[in-house]
Structure 1
């Protein structure tokens, strides 16, 4: 340590980092301020916590991560190679799936390539790509992404690689030669790779390292560059685009690196939460006070058996942080060969809802998904379908009508992932020209992208569109009480496989049951709010307005008009995607809407619709009695 005490090094590092942040703020050119509006906020409701928009409507954010290409040097550590590619991707996402949110990945290495430099050219490219989404009405969760801490811990011949920390950090750390040992998945490096674990351990303990620019405390440097990034984005983004950023994910998939004899939940309390509190302070100093931090628990919590975590020993998070979990089916990714079906994921997804409620904040899933090629990928379509079912309803379809409020609110969730370069990469793994990665995601043999670009340059879906383009409540005026959706997605790829309904209407409602039989349909129950703004749901392409029937206490009709209490409108930023608008009078009580795809089959008669409405309103009174 060149004779300097650890205290002197830490003080010098903090001073250098503070100076770096100050330089960053001065260097960022000013932008003329536009009229501000309220950000997306975390809000309490009668039961649980939710996200709300500027009009007080309860939000459901749905979309995709963009993208794992941020991990690749071929993309200069950005999701897209150009702003044009970002715009093409955003347009396709809005048109094909009606998504209203993305998790946008950026890289510490991209932002801070040297200890004394912020790369504003990198940030300008990221800003242009972010605007491709915000200009189309898509909200953005910004994510500082890392996996296995850094690519620079791995040697050119390694089986695996990482992403995140810059080379100057790992060079200064002096870490041992990496080795995962006998590892079947890249994630095992978190538990067995000495270099990865030691580097992560040092980060959490803010180790001071000697760099060409002097001593640097690693975590402090990370926080300072993040503050500089957030301040620059606030200055450079137009107000409307900045308002569309819902918050920041401070650190993707945190893992311990060493528990020092403590439990996982103690590590979260004593090590992870202090970091999140420091990051929250950096957000405030950068002018992001009104935006929540989307904080993640220990990476393997709720994914593999017996994993500790879930923030069970920390104080309530409140409105300034969101409980942000990932969900992957660890057993089916490894040893469980069974398929997923109706209700498979209700319990683990509800655990995320319950953890957030106990922490007095909103739940969020910023990653979920499953592989689209290789062993076990034949199960993927219904695994994804079952995950969405759990996030919509939190209950199996066979039980939902009898206990519709069991699962709680529709859960905001961002699928992993959306990569327009899927299967067309050219990444030199760990810089090795003898290991060029082209297949799948171009990274650690993963293949999770739900899209690809064909030879004609068109973006196409790799999964049944009925799985990905879903009916969901984008904004509920008031509070949601229950929601469920029957997508009728097939179990195979490209329209193959079995079609089986999961959401079965009970025989006690014979006319309603006949109306929805073998048809896509959804049900929303909500208590109207005070704002008078409409409740809005995304209408998937398969529910074209002309062939959609709505049975509601507000109105009952087949074919959706452009005005009235039940109407349709274009999705912002799309000429093809549509949304359903339900206009209930302010503070008018509990309402229900049954939305059915009646484009095929025998058209319903008015008498059938009237009978179905009577049965639906009777059910509503029984299941949601007025206090």
Structure 2
């Protein structure tokens, strides 16, 4: 490991070069200290901050697995042991520090007014597989197409969410010639009618959901040790909300204002009542608000809601529908392809007075469009990391880093045994076992060992786990698929060579807690050029600097003139 330090003493900071060769094998194999990891997060100043005032970025996956299925009664894993093995693999293979953890109303309240605490015990035990490793969690009350109980045994599609008692009495379901399961949201009369009734609280169905969700949250809080409950960041009240159908004269935006937001306020009040007052609600806008296929797209983004405030988080999803179609985007994703879309998410959160998270994103890892997966995932992570494409980052790098959870992490992938819609003649074993999807970033090999289904270079990334102050700019070039970063500084370009690299610029608060970057497998023995003192602990780069603006470049040692590169970086840094 080579680390180059510069020290913040006026102009000398730009010129001083101290190249230190450190042989710290014991440090590299020892477990990383986690003395700052157990603090609770809150939204403050448009970002997540921990108890030490550090700006925190959440990165990880949706823990879904069988949570959307009946196979293991709505739990993500077959057992708590499987959950622990999966959590450990996620941490080791990707450096994730947070997960979105699914649970489902149908399994919480299978009979009206009766809460299944055995199911909630299972949820809590599997959730603790992650909090026990210091991985933060935010809960998601999940639904797709309202409920699996709307669908006939021989249907092409299925859903999840509401229990059977809340999905009875609706017309026979049929989506007609639907080519994607999501079309059921608009075309299936059973789905649209049941969804409409939920938002209008027919027969008190929404009341029942809010009360059941409250009991689930109460159970989780009481079952978790206090130090692990601190690692629970918040809760998503309902996955991918949609009106079903609109009232006369109603638009998608007025529906958000008049029906969706009041539901979120009710849910927020229930959170406060059951001991979750310190946790934000991760609220989603209308599901189609940022869809890039015109056939599906509808205005939304909570545009008519004047403010959310810091007790809420603006919670968006992003999937490239054109790329998934295989026709509307015939080629691969390109540099900067999604920066505008993620810029819109940043702008909406800012306008609503809070921070943003992209709680779902991804692309199929198998199937006829999976050749696009490396480029699409790379471009999505680029959009999360920075508001500028790689070709322009060095000249216009400013932009916040977005938190996000990739869809998804399923160690059952390809090994399911799901009776689709309870039909013993339709046993689903392939992929996600849900509407023919193939999204899991992980599977088990023949020996039962978790292995990635995607290039590790794309999902095991440098990202700022915690910044002591305020992030001004960040970028990471993973070198997977192709290189999009254009380094204009000749000596820096020579030092970096073809290695992965990251650059962080931040305003340091000079506090006692360090700025932390996750180091992927490819950069565990890094070359660091920084204005802050740097050290490595396992998969963490720790940066400690005094008050004021700081920078750090992280790459692999590959040659070149480090002193000259450092001087170039100093000149670039002072041009801000």
TM-score (norm 1): 0.84
Corresponding position of 1:549? 527
Corresponding position of 1:527? 507
Q: CA deviation at 1:68?
A: 4.1
Corresponding position of 1:567? 535
Residues 370-422 of structure 1, C-alpha deviations (whole Å, 9 max, x = no match): 011111111111110111011111221111001010xx211100000000011
Corresponding position of 1:273? 261
Q: CA deviation at 1:483?
A: 0.1
Q: Kindly report structure 1 stretches of 4+ aligned residues shifted beyond 3 Å.
A: none
Distance 1:447 1:337 in 2: 19
Distance 1:233 1:531 in 2: 33
Distance 2:386 2:497 in 1: 19
Q: Is the 8 A contact 1:41 1:291 kept in 2?
A: yes
Residues 70-108 of structure 1, C-alpha deviations (whole Å, 9 max, x = no match): 011112101111000000000000000000000000010
Q: Is the 8 A contact 2:65 2:413 kept in 1?
A: no
Aligned counterpart for 2:182 among listed residues 187, 208, 224: 187
Say which SS state the counterpart of residue 416 (structure 1) adopts. Answer: strand
Q: Superposed, which structure 2 residues align to 1:151-170 within 5 Å?
A: 151-170=148-167
Are 1:199 and 2:152 matched, yes or no? no
Distance 1:197 1:368 in 2: 25
Aligned counterpart for 1:404 among listed residues 397, 403, 409: 397
Corresponding position of 1:308? 299
Say which SS state the counterpart of residue 374 (structure 2) adopts. Answer: helix
Are 1:592 and 2:551 matched, yes or no? yes
Corresponding position of 1:615? 568
Aligned counterpart for 2:244 among listed residues 257, 276, 280: 257
Distance 1:299 1:597 in 2: 41
Q: Is the 8 A contact 2:323 2:372 kept in 1?
A: no
Q: Superposed, which structure 2 residues align to 1:408-447 within 5 Å?
A: 408-447=399-438
Aligned counterpart for 2:216 among listed residues 182, 205, 229: 229
Corresponding position of 1:242? 229
Where do 5+ consecutive residues of structure 1 fail to align?
A: 1-36, 209-216, 491-499, 555-564, 571-577
Q: Is the 8 A contact 1:51 1:58 kept in 2?
A: yes
Aligned counterpart for 1:583 among listed residues 530, 533, 544: 544
Q: CA deviation at 1:39?
A: 2.4
Q: Is the 8 A contact 2:387 2:397 kept in 1?
A: no
The total of aligned residue pairs comes to 534
Corresponding position of 2:283? 295
Corresponding position of 2:205? 218
Residues 3-52 of structure 1, C-alpha deviations (whole Å, 9 max, x = no match): xxxxxxxxxxxxxxxxxxxxxxxxxxxxxxxxxx86211111xxxx1111
Distance 2:523 2:497 in 1: 15
Corresponding position of 1:540? 520
Corresponding position of 1:504? 486
Aligned counterpart for 1:56 among listed residues 53, 66, 72: 53
Q: Is the 8 A contact 1:97 1:540 kept in 2?
A: yes
Say which SS state the counterpart of residue 51 (structure 1) adopts. Answer: strand
Q: Is the 8 A contact 1:552 1:594 kept in 2?
A: yes
Q: CA deviation at 1:530?
A: 4.8
Q: CA deviation at 1:250?
A: 0.2
Corresponding position of 1:175? 170
Distance 1:375 1:155 in 2: 28
Distance 1:232 1:270 in 2: 31
Distance 1:581 1:615 in 2: 23
Distance 2:180 2:493 in 1: 46
Q: CA deviation at 1:321?
A: 0.3
Q: Is the 8 A contact 2:416 2:430 kept in 1?
A: yes
Say which SS state the counterpart of residue 593 (structure 1) adopts. Answer: strand
Residues 121-168 of structure 1, C-alpha deviations (whole Å, 9 max, x = no match): 100111110110001110001000000000000000000000000011
Aligned counterpart for 1:66 among listed residues 59, 63, 72: 63
Distance 1:288 1:116 in 2: 22
Say which SS state the counterpart of residue 325 (structure 1) adopts. Answer: strand
Are 1:106 and 2:67 matched, yes or no? no
Q: Is the 8 A contact 1:553 1:613 kept in 2?
A: no
Q: Is the 8 A contact 2:496 2:555 kept in 1?
A: yes
Q: Is the 8 A contact 2:65 2:412 kept in 1?
A: no
Q: CA deviation at 1:337?
A: 1.7
Are 1:448 and 2:439 matched, yes or no? yes
Q: Cα RMSD over matched residues?
A: 1.2
Distance 2:349 2:92 in 1: 32
Q: Is the 8 A contact 2:39 2:231 kept in 1?
A: no
Say which SS state the counterpart of residue 521 (structure 2) adopts. Answer: coil
Q: Superposed, which structure 2 residues align to 1:4-23 within 5 Å?
A: none
Q: CA deviation at 1:579?
A: 0.5
Q: Is the 8 A contact 1:416 1:448 kept in 2?
A: yes
Corresponding position of 1:342? 335
Distance 1:442 1:426 in 2: 8
Distance 2:161 2:185 in 1: 14
Distance 2:142 2:382 in 1: 27
Q: Is the 8 A contact 1:39 1:246 kept in 2?
A: yes
Aligned counterpart for 1:329 among listed residues 298, 311, 320: 320
Q: Is the 8 A contact 2:65 2:411 kept in 1?
A: no
Distance 2:318 2:186 in 1: 19
Q: CA deviation at 1:273?
A: 0.1
Distance 1:80 1:550 in 2: 40
Aligned counterpart for 2:497 among listed residues 517, 520, 526: 517
Corresponding position of 1:478? 469
Distance 1:528 1:468 in 2: 27
